[in-house]
Amino acid sequence: MSQTLVIGISDYAVSQKPNILVTYALGSCVGICLYDSKLQIGGLSHIMLPDSGQFSHQEINRMKFADTAIVDMVKEMRALGCDLRRITAKIAGGARMFQVQPGSQIGSIGDRNVDSVKQILSSLHIPILAEETRKNYGRTVYFDLGTGVMKVHSLNKKIAEV
């Protein structure tokens, strides 16, 4: 029986086939799908912010930040037997939801989230097989752990399967 697990904002989950992981309405947040195709184990993380560094003096939710969430999710997958050398990534989100004046801080967080996610994946030598990022619309991500396919749904009815 396939189960659908919903991942909220600042949250992640790791599971295995035939389950489906879903996270709704990514705006400038980024959804990161990690997958080990041999074991058919994967994780989906919904991060809000690029970097936990400036909040290190306080208690943080590690699932909120790209740097801590990805590292923790990889650790959890490895504990289930996944080999870091086999883990691949697909990412979605990081949009600019409001068309603000150039130079305004408001619009840039999506880009910074995507940049940070890519940098962290690259430092872990995890290849990005596909991405559906940036632009100006919200996205819902379905990640099928049986196939490793990431399905991205948006309100303008374009559905991308990668």
Q: What is the DSSP letter of 108?
A: G
C-beta of 9 vs 149, nearer to another protein: 9
The interaxial angle of helices 66-79 and 109-123, nearest 10 deg, is 40
CB of 141 to another protein, least distance (A): 12
Q: Least Å distance between CB 40 and another protein?
A: 27
In this chain, which of 90, 118, 139, 151 binds another protein, going by CB under 8 A? 139
Question: Amino acid identity of 47?
Answer: I
Closer residue to another protein in complex, CB, 80/106: 106
C-alpha span between 130 and 34 (Å, rounded)? 11
By CB under 8 A, tell whether 68 contacts another protein: no
Which one of residues 38, 83, 98, 160 is an interface residue with another protein (CB under 8 A)? 98
| Contact call for residue 69 and another protein (CB under 8 A) | no
7: number of Cβ within 10 Å: 20
Taking the complex as a whole, how short is the minimal distance between the CB of residue 139 and another protein, in angstroms? 7
Q: Does 52 bind another protein (CB under 8 A)?
A: no
Q: Is 29 a catalytic residue?
A: yes
Q: What's 107's DSSP letter?
A: G
Give dist(CA 154, CA 120) in Å, integer: 26
Identify the residue among 5, 39, 71, 97 touching another protein (CB under 8 A). Answer: 97
Which of these segments, 32-40, 82-90, 104-112, 121-129, binds another protein (CB under 8 A)?
104-112
DSSP-H helix ranges across the chain: 66-79, 109-123
Residue 155's contacts (CB-CB under 8 Å, 6 or more residues apart) are 137, 138
Q: Which residues form the catalytic set?
A: 29
